[in-house]
Amino acid sequence: MFRIFLLLLCSCAAVSKPFTATQPAPMSPPVAAKKPHTVTLHGDTRVDDYFWLREKGAPEVTAYLEAENAYADAQMAPTAELQKSLYDEIVGRIQETDQSAPYRKGAFEYYRRTKKGKQYATYCRRAPGKPQSEEVLLDMNALAEGRPFLGLGVYEVSPDGRYLVFSLDETGFRDYTLQIKDLRSGEMLLERIEKVKSVAWASDSQTFFYTVDDETKRAHRVLRHRLGSADDDALLYQEDDERFRVAVWRSRSGEYVFRGAFSHTTSEIGFLRASAPKGAWRMVAEREQDHEYDVAHRGGDFLIRTNDRGRNFRVVRAPVDSPGPSSWKELVPHRDGVMVEGLDVFESFYVLLERETGLPYIRVSRFDGDTAHRIGMEEPVYAVYAGNNEEFSASAYRFRYESLTTPDSVFDYDVSSKRRTLVKQLEVLGGYEPATYESERLWATAAGGTQVPISVVYKKGTPRDGSSPTLLAGYGSYGYPYPTGFSHSRVSLLDRGITVAIAHIRGGGELGKHWHDTGRMEHKMNTFTDFIAVAEHLISKGYTSRDRLAIQGGSAGGLLLGAVSNLRPDLFRAVVSIVPFVDVLNTMLDDSLPLTVGEYEEWGNPNERDAYFQIKAYCPYTNIKAQPYPTMLIRTSLNDSQVMYWEPAKYVAKLRAHKTDESRLLFKINMDAGHGGASGRYDHLKETALDYAFVLTELR
């Protein structure tokens, strides 16, 4: 698990009572007490005045957070009508009662339904082509009654279709409890297993494998459970290297269960016949630093995506009986300009999810020797994802396509005829016309001549004389490409003349592994200077101006915003930062926290001198200084386990003590959620309305 929180410019962390202020408007912002906490390392002494805000539940901490909420509510109260208008607009574009595209798995079609006025989805199945045979497997609305938060983790039906294992998080802290439902009787079994992260069924539909978290929320053990057994579950594997997390999954063929151990740079995968759950596990390839791979099964072979001969991966084939590297036969070579992001294997064909020049592609190859080909895409900026492909014998590949102007669309691509069929497209109500809007791919020149891609969308006719307000988003971490998909909510910005741009900066994965490598560890500063170069490019080309430019990011994207706000506060008018990872140095020095040790391979280990000073050079909290800052809306959640609430709390407190301007600094804390904010879909829309009202007010 990474510090990933994708905003997609449409859904952010939850807010409490977003439409009305509940207390008299305080005229001055809260001031946090200074309680110096001194730390010396590598001969460097730092004083942390707000270390005390880590004491979750302490009356003084709670009082401070509540005061910040009250102040933000009061400051945003004048926008109540605008927020409601935005909310009503966004809801008005959504088909509230809807159903996802059904997908086949075994004897059933599976799908989920939403109903107008209900916060959560209902998970269902039916006999193929027979809507009247619907079975409700999981009604999240019923389960959420009386709970301010509910998140669904694993959701796996047994091979015979009788049992469902699922897990629920009731706080947002990613503590998932596994439960088992007998779908034949509708009854819940007595078993409850805490802290479950992943699950894979054996062929007998009586046995499953699962992983559990340690105290830092790192999945570290693999166990085996048999339904109804009174015996303790068998511990099959324990990962003691804290850089690695473990997972289990079943091959699409159904014949094998895989057990993987993964760090940010290295993989190791074992396998077991699904028909022999008590059998011996075997290894595909032994762990080797900086070697990443994943495995799929077909017949007597494994197909393996591996970066053993190049950072962007190649594909090889190996016999199941001798799967190690000495047996690997190349199917697809490594290519410097093409990143192989994923591999899907079926009985008669396989699919590569590739990325080239910043754009994703689907490459299809048949095992009968037919020439490989790509599925064509037409727009200049778009997103493509694998769909639900559960059937190993399928003749068609399901994928999802969307863009900044085209709603999410589910296609089935017939591999033999090379024809695609639209299965379902997300409806956009209210008269939305894609032709009214335009998207572009731009390139900015960063330090050293590096070309940085930018995705842009706007309403046709938007002026390019520097007068247009613009919202610029970015992420740039973990090799994760920033999605360029559709948003019902974004239309409300576009229709008000806002241009929306996405900076595909180094540290992300838009241009392959090299793009990630040159934006992490000792090269992390490139992420921030790239973002600044993108902003300057948009200004120089007349897309916007400094006083009309707002920026948005979340989690590690909040780190980005914090760093660039320190480096170039003059470049941005406003900042919307959600669950921001802004206290990087202190967090990476605390190995008791979730994610810390595993992320030494992303940021560096500050217990080592060089890494310490590299992180210190950009850490947003550490580098706050006496200077003017942009107007800011910063939001977090009390139960966030990926970026602890105290990071943005300390950041805001220190900003208030140092900034030399009168611009607004608002801090909202959801007291009942985690990293992703509120779990209900309508609550997310209210959050978005608050964010948009803030941006529109600042850029008016």
Number of Cβ atoms within 10 Å of the Cβ of 236: 17
Tell which phi-psi region holds residue 513, choosing left (phi > 0), alpha (psi between -120 and 50) or beta.
alpha
Number of Cβ atoms within 10 Å of the Cβ of 593: 18
Strand 245-250 and strand 256-262: pairing?
antiparallel
* DSSP E strand boundaries for 93-233: 98-99, 103-105, 108-114, 122-126, 135-139, 151-157, 163-169, 177-182, 193-194, 196-201, 207-213, 219-226
Cβ neighbors of 186 (< 8 A, separation 6 or more) are: none
Q: Output the six-digit token pair for 585.
A: 């140095």
If you count DSSP H runs as helices and E runs as strands, how many of each does the chain have, helices first? 12, 39
Residue from 175, 640, 672, 683 carrying the catalytic annotation: 640
- Supply the angle between the helices 681-699 and 59-76 in degrees, to the nearest 10: 60
Is 489 a catalytic site residue?
A: no
- Pick from 595, 599, 594, 588: which is nearest to 622 by CA? 588
Is 640 a catalytic site residue?
A: yes
355 half-sphere exposure, CB direction, 13 A CA radius = 26
CB 265 within 8 A of CB 292: yes
Q: Give long-range contacts, CB 8 A cutoff, 24+ apart: 104-113.
A: 104/128, 104/390, 104/391, 104/394, 105/157, 105/390, 105/391, 106/157, 106/159, 106/161, 106/390, 107/161, 108/161, 110/157, 110/388
Tokens 């409850």 belong to 192
Q: Output the six-digit token pair for 431.
A: 């008269």
Tokens 């790192």 belong to 218
Cβ neighbors of 190 (< 8 A, separation 6 or more) are: none
Residues in the chain: 700
Q: How far is CA 643 from CA 476, 504, 574, 579, 700, in A?
A: 16, 23, 22, 6, 32
Q: Residue 94: what residue type?
A: I
* Terminal C-alpha separation, the chain: 38
Is 675 a catalytic site residue?
A: yes
The conformation of residue 112, written as its DSSP 8-state character, comes to E
Q: Output the six-digit token pair for 640.
A: 């966030």
Q: Estimate to the nearest angstrom the gap between the alpha carbon of 599 and the chain centroid.
A: 16
Cβ neighbors of 618 (< 8 A, separation 6 or more) are: 524, 525, 528, 563, 584
- Pick from 129, 213, 59, 115: which is nearest to 642 by CA? 213
- Pick from 215, 199, 219: which is nearest to 207 by CA? 199
Residue from 555, 565, 637, 641 carrying the catalytic annotation: 555
CB 303 within 8 A of CB 320: no
Residue from 225, 264, 675, 684 carrying the catalytic annotation: 675
- Pick from 180, 259, 246: which is nearest to 219 by CA? 246
Rounded Cα distance, 674 and 641, in Å: 7
CB 554 within 8 A of CB 477: no
- Collapse the DSSP code of 378 into the 3-class scheme (helix H, G, I; strand E, B; otherwise coil) and give the result: coil
Rounded Cα distance, 242 and 220, in Å: 8
- Pick from 374, 373, 364, 375: which is nearest to 411 by CA? 375
Q: What positions carry a catalytic annotation? A: 555, 640, 675
